[in-house]
Amino acid sequence: MRSSLSHFLLSLLGQSKAQRNPGPPRAEDSSETQNAGRLLAAARLGNPWSQFDLGLCYAKGQGVPQDLDEAVNWFRKAAEQGNSRAQFTLGFCYQHGYGIEQDSEEAVNWFRKAAKQGDPDAQSNLGYCYFHGEGVQQDFVKAAQWNEYAEHGGLSAKFRKSAEQGDARAQFYRVFPARLPDFVRAA
């Protein structure tokens, strides 16, 4: 399981220098530690992007000892502040049981929050959950709808482009997001 999380996190940020060039500690390792220290300072001040990035550092063991529990802790702090990447990543951790007990319903909860903000990865994973009935009642229509949004660059990107092209309905949804189609609100 842990190797899958490492693969996922590496795909988010790219492979670290230490993983590309294994060997004795170098000055670069000190740089990673300093970077993690700066992230920690900003994360403690409540910056959600620093909290998310610090979570990635703990998950990968980059500049800090690898600790999936601590990674999930920082992902949660950022997710609770509305950071869609942290919401998606926390959902992924719940879906696969990385650093936290596996809970499909909680995974869907976090995917839904990120998906409604237009995160295409969360939209795709939410579609997957609906298709397979993981954490939600199986619903092929919702699965197809969420996957379509993910395929087209995300819900917000689709509405933004339509609104910019003069689509009155898309302009209305951008101004009044609470009036999004029922399947989006209920997803």
pLDDT of 178 > 50? The answer is no
pLDDT digits (tens, 9 = 90+) for 95-104: 999 999 999 9
Tell me, yes or no, whether 69 and 131 share the same domain. no
Q: How far apart are CA 184 and CA 174, in angstroms?
A: 13
153-170 pLDDT tens trace: 655 555 566 667 776 655
The pLDDT assigned to 35 comes to: 84
If phi > 0 it is left, if psi is from -120 to 50 it is alpha, else beta; for residue 135 that is left
Percent of the chain topping pLDDT 90: 50
The answer to whether 32 touches 62, Cβ cutoff 8 Å, is yes
Lowest mean pLDDT among 55-64, 135-144, 157-166: 157-166
126: Cα separation from own chain's centroid: 12
Confidence of residue 22 (pLDDT cuts 50, 70, 90): very low
Among 101, 136, 166, residue at a domain's last position: 101
What are the two backbone dihedrals, phi and then psi, of residue 67, each rounded to the nearest 5 degrees?
-155, 100
- Write the burial class of residue 149 (CB in 10 Å: 0-12 exposed, 13-18 middle, 19+ buried): buried
Of the listed ranges 47-51, 62-66, 155-159, the least confidently predicted one is 155-159
d(CA 151, CA 75): 25
Task: Answer yes or no: do 49 and 122 share one domain.
Answer: no
Whole-angstrom distance, CA of residue 117 vs CA of residue 82: 9
126/97 same-domain check: no
Task: Please give the average per-residue pLDDT across 118-132, as a whole number.
Answer: 91
User: What pLDDT is stored for residue 25 in this prediction?
Assistant: 43
Distance (Å) of CA 109 to CA 35, 81, 170: 32, 15, 25
Does residue 131 sit in the same domain as residue 59?
no
Overall number of domains in the chain: 2
Last residue of a domain, one of 81, 101, 121: 101
Average pLDDT over residues 25-53: 82
Which of 74, 101, 128 marks a domain boundary? 101
Task: Identify whether the C-beta of residue 95 lies closer than 8 Å to the C-beta of residue 121.
Answer: no
CA 14, 104, 116, 57 torsion: positive or negative? negative
Mean pLDDT, all residues of the chain = 78
Greatest alpha-carbon span in the chain: 60
Q: What is the pLDDT of residue 163?
A: 63
Instruction: Answer yes or no: do 49 and 115 share one domain.
Output: no
Cα atoms in the Cβ-side hemisphere of radius 13 Å centred on 61: 10
CB 99, CB 72: distance < 8 Å: yes
